[in-house]
Chains A and B, each alone.
Chain A
Amino acid sequence: MKAAPLLSIDNLTGGYGEIVIVTDLSLALSQGQALCVTGRNGVGKSTLARLVTGSLMPASGQVVFLGEDLTFAPAHGRARQGMGYAPQEGVVFDTLSVAENLTLHHRDRSLERYKELFAMFPRLPDRLGQRAGTLSGGEKKILSFCRALAEDTKLVILDEPTEGVQPENIALMAEAINRAKDAGRGFLIIEQNLSLVEAVADQAALMDHGECIYTHSGTINLRAELAERLKI
């Protein structure tokens, strides 16, 4: 018997008020897998992430997570149900310190849960007392990535995690994602960097004009197929 998907997006339509960005989009993701959604700028990838995480409410369709319909659940409720999110923009709380960014949503201020990630990204623990707003764009992305990954969540949604990040750190991000996948966590990754997509994706979806125009399962020919279609 096939296991129920970790995340199921069914005929999702939504956007900003009257303006519809994502149209009738359906995708599914299993535990321990990464689904990468790619496409050109402005096709609705980030809007999709916002609809799934509850930053935006859909006009129609369904978002089912761990068998529960969360279509109209508030964003904080989804986070507490086990849906982690690192957005594309406004990724950190600029006026708070790096340490506060990592701990403010926890009862304790322990950084123990970040131990493994700190070993991978050693610049981060060096800057714990620094205001997050003073970090470079790439460092902010790494901070946001670490915060989302260190949570005890079943699903992690990453929106353009590699934007402004140095190639060696992108490789480390891929390594961290693959380790988390091995532990059974699922990933919905919005990404244009095909190196990361190729390194972590179990499935990929290509979006255009708010619709899913192509899906690819497995890693064989993944990069070539996506690259070919992205040229269109």
Chain B
Amino acid sequence: MDLVVTYGLNFAYSTATLGLIVLGLAVVFGLLGVMNMAHGEFVMLGAYSALMVQQAGLPFVLAIPLAVIVCGALGWLMEWSVIRHLYRRPFDTFLATWGIAILMRKGVEVSFGREYQSVDQSLPGTVSLMGIDYPAYRLVLMAVIVTMFALLFVWYQRSNTGARIKAMVQNPDLAAAVGINTARLSRATFVTGVAIAGLAGVLLAPLVRVEPYMGLDYLLSSFFILVVGGLGTLEGLIIGSSIIGGADVVISAIFDKTAGYLGVLAISILFLWLRPDGIFSRR
């Protein structure tokens, strides 16, 4: 029974964290069609924000505004200087953002060094749950992620801005014709996406190794999830995270971590082959 609960919680944790990681990319790629290859680097910047706050001896929670501001400002600059010229040109966006990702990795490497660093657990200890002791930070993180998703979902479905984003995504010409500043809305959407990626980096920082190349793994996981779940829907994102996260947890538990990676890769290839639009797709 304990083993089932442990695996269940690990599955929920894996799904929730993957959902958090992919959320920013889902906003940028799913809504704007921008294949942001620098997505993982924004997660990495978020993690480094947590590290900087720790090194300055400040409370962990201050890393959240720092990451949102740093990633938001960098995202704004990136959209203004590069991305806005490349909308509806996916291959050019792919190359440009890959170049930016390299710059970001190298910039962090020069500033902080290449070695692994770690962020202290801000909420150490365990909580007894259904007969097992489970890390408190993981449980809090899951609750925060679920709340964040719920709030974002309600905002996107109910707010006028959400309706404007949907309108812009579906018919940009008509959206502009009714007076919506699509250029500004695209920029705000992009900035929101990368700021969410930064936030994910902060929240995951105490649980992972912080290093300049950590974003590459997150980028791959994010694309696998979007391939499986489909673009443009929250349901797709959650299902995609569950399948990828679940497969990784189960296969890694039975065999090892490498087998987990291979399993996830095989699932993604199968989806690309048999169901290229994913399980849920707006398109």
Contacts and interface: CB of A to CB of B under 8 A. Distances in A.
Asked if A and B are interacting partners, one says yes
Interface of A: 53-55, 74-76, 79-80, 85, 87, 90-96, 100, 103-107, 109, 147
B174 interface: yes
A75 B163 contact: no
Dominant SS at the B interface?
A: helix
A213 to B, nearest CB: 28
Given A74-B183, A76-B179, A80-B179, A104 B167 contact: yes
8 contacts: A54-B177, A76-B182, A79-B177, A79-B178, A80-B179, A90-B174, A104-B164, A105-B180
Interface residues of B, number: 19
B176 A87 contact: no
Interface of B: 160, 163-164, 166-167, 170-171, 173-183, 282
A94 B176 CA distance: 16
Contact of A75 (B170, B177, B282): B177
A104 B163 contact: yes
Contacts of A147: 178
A15 to B, nearest CB: 15
Quick one: which of A104, A105, A109 has the most chain B CB within 10 A? A104
B171 A93 contact: yes
Contacts of A55: 173, 176-177
B176 A76 contact: yes
Given A75-B173, A79-B179, 10 more contacts: A53-B177, A54-B177, A55-B176, A74-B183, A87-B174, A91-B174, A93-B166, A93-B170, A96-B166, A104-B163
Nearest to B167: A93
Contacts of B181: 74, 76
Nearest to B163: A104
B166 A95 contact: yes
Nearest to A94: B170
A80 B181 CA distance: 10
Contacts of A76: 176-177, 179-182
Contacts of A106: 160
B150 to A, nearest CB: 21
A104 B171 contact: no
Contacts of A100: 163
Contacts of B160: 103-104, 106-107, 109
A54 B176 CA distance: 9
3 shortest interchain CB distances as A-B pairs: A75-B176, A79-B179, A105-B178
Contacts of A95: 166, 170, 282
B207 to A, nearest CB: 37
B233 to A, nearest CB: 11
A156 to B, nearest CB: 12
